[in-house]
Each structure stands twice: as C-alpha cells, then as structure tokens.
Amino acid sequence: MSSGGKAVMKKTGRSGKRKESVFAVILAAAVLGGPVLTGCGVKPHELLEIELMPGSETPESTETEPTEEETRSTGETTEALPLPHAVKPGQMMPVKSLNASNADQFFWQSAVTDEVFERINGKSYKDGADMRNDLRYLQVLHYDFDGNVRVGELICNKAISSDLLSIFHRLYEEAYPIEKIILVDEYDADDAASCSDNNTSCFNYRVITGGGSLSRHALGLAVDINPLYNPYLSKSTGICVPENGAVYTDRTKTFSHKINENDLCYRLFAEAGFTWGGSWENTPDYMHFEKEN
C-alpha cells in the first residue's frame, strides 16, 4: 500500500520536560527489550535501520493533532497513532487519524533482524536457504475487505524490496482491498494453508507447485496477492491451489477481488517490470507476480 509525505513530530519548548520524555522513551525501550526506532517518516525506497542508538534524540511523539474540520465532523478528537515499531502484524489502525503525511512512517524496510529470523527459521527459511543477507523485512499498510486499515508485513529479496514498498504504498493510497498480509510462517510455511486463508505473502523457501525446482518465492522474488480469489490452476492435472479457490478459476465470471489486466494491482506490478502468472497458458497462476533479479 502506500502514502506520501513526512510524519509530523511535535517538540516541546521546555527542555526539562523534553529530556525527561526522551529518557522515558529510551528507558522503556531498554526494559521492554525493544529498539528505539530511528528514521521515522522515511520515504518508500529508503532502508530504515532499526537499532538502539545510545544518546540519540527521540521525538516526544508522532501523534498528529486533528484538524478543525475533523473535530467539527466527528465532534471529538481523533485517536492517537501508535509508533511504527510498536504495531503488530494484522493490527487495525485508527483510520480517522491517518493522512497522507503520517501514514508514510508505517511503510519501511529493514534487514532481517534476529527477532524476525527467529520467527522464520525452520519454517519459510529452511535448510539450504543461506540468503538471510539478501532478504528484507517490510512493513506496509493495507485496506482489508471491510474497509479497515491494517498493518501488513512481508519478507522479500532486497532486489525487489523498493518496488514492493512503492506498489503497496500506491495500493494503500487507492484503498485497494487486500484481506491480509502476514508472514507465511504464521501457517508454518504451508503455502496451501496460507492461500486458502487468502493471505498475501512473498518469501517461502520451497519448490514450485507440482514440480521439483525452486520457486521464485524461494528467492523472495515473487508475491501472491489475494490468492483465494486468484488461484493457481494446472490445466493438465486439474490441480488447484488453494482447493477452496476452485470456483474462481473460471475467469469469465464476474466477482470481487479478481486480478486481470484491467486491475490496478496488475498495472502497478507490470509497470515495475514484474511478470504475471495469470498470463501463463498451461498453468495460470492468477495470484502470482514475479521478477528477475
């Protein structure tokens, strides 16, 4: 998904209060074991480094004040936004508090930290992968099928990380619905289970469906979007992944969340140089977009 602009950060003019607040933020991070986030408000394409910086200056807040128009229309102030590094995958965001300026801080990428690696090691990151340094962890925002804004996460190859941030940033701007975006590891790296739950995902060190060679997903160079409504189909064997998506293999029918060449998702990936699996003659893979590294 996406958005644009810089996060608005408020600073108090009273230095004593400000130092006390900064100390509290750093102390809280140390006690909770979480990092102090540096680089809030980065633009898509920028690599956000997450690390504890002794003596670094931390803004007191990234909360934004509601406009007069928002206050008049709702009769109340908007809910404060959480910090980007404090949100959890799948978490619902306060829509009324998001705007083109502050949403940008929730789109970032970083190297695969030890915490993230612990989540994927032995699941999507299997023996033989040996490519941790080539992978990037991405956080994005997206609209779910009910119109809620949620936090999404992806792991991909660094060769396409900036492309994906830009594409998901644009999809977010256009309120393009994607039901969920969480790591395939939440399904024990079971691709069929992830797809049947309509989860959008990227990296998974596995072989291609119905074959023995490595998938582009194994290199973090492919992403599957709304897979339940855009399934994989082998015309020769009749295999459909996910199985509960078989009803959506008839692309002559009209239904929601269908990716075709007129769809915004298709157009954005095509503009970025990705190949769409839906164009494959014998094994159309309507959920799938991949790119050469």
Range of the domain at 215: 15-220
Q: According to the model, what pLDDT value does residue 208 have? A: 84
Whether 123 is covered by a domain: the verdict is yes
Whether 76 is covered by a domain: the verdict is yes
- 0.85 exceeded by the pTM? no
Rounded-to-integer distance, Cα 70 and Cα 92, Å: 20
Rounded-to-integer distance, Cα 135 and Cα 119, Å: 14
Q: According to the model, what pLDDT value does residue 19 have? A: 38
Whether 267 is covered by a domain: the verdict is no
Whether 113 is covered by a domain: the verdict is yes
Q: Are 18 and 53 in contact (CB under 8 A)?
A: no
Query: Helical H runs in 177-234?
Result: 191-196
Structure tokens at 104: 């940008």
Written as tens digits, the pLDDT of the chain (293 aa) is 333 333 333 333 334 433 344 334 333 444 344 443 333 344 444 444 443 333 333 333 344 444 544 433 444 556 889 988 889 999 999 999 999 889 999 999 999 999 999 999 999 999 999 999 999 999 999 999 999 999 999 999 999 999 999 999 999 999 999 999 999 999 999 999 999 999 999 999 998 876 778 999 999 999 999 999 999 999 999 999 999 999 999 999 999 999 999 999 999 999 999 999 999 999 999 999 999 87
Q: According to the model, what pLDDT value does residue 77 have? A: 59
Is residue 276 classed as helix, strand or coil in its secondary structure? strand
Rounded-to-integer distance, Cα 220 and Cα 84, Å: 24
Rounded-to-integer distance, Cα 225 and Cα 287, Å: 5
Q: Are 262 and 253 in contact (CB under 8 A)?
A: no
Whether 126 is covered by a domain: the verdict is yes
Whether 20 is covered by a domain: the verdict is yes
Whether 51 is covered by a domain: the verdict is yes
Domains in the chain, number: 1
Whether 212 is covered by a domain: the verdict is yes
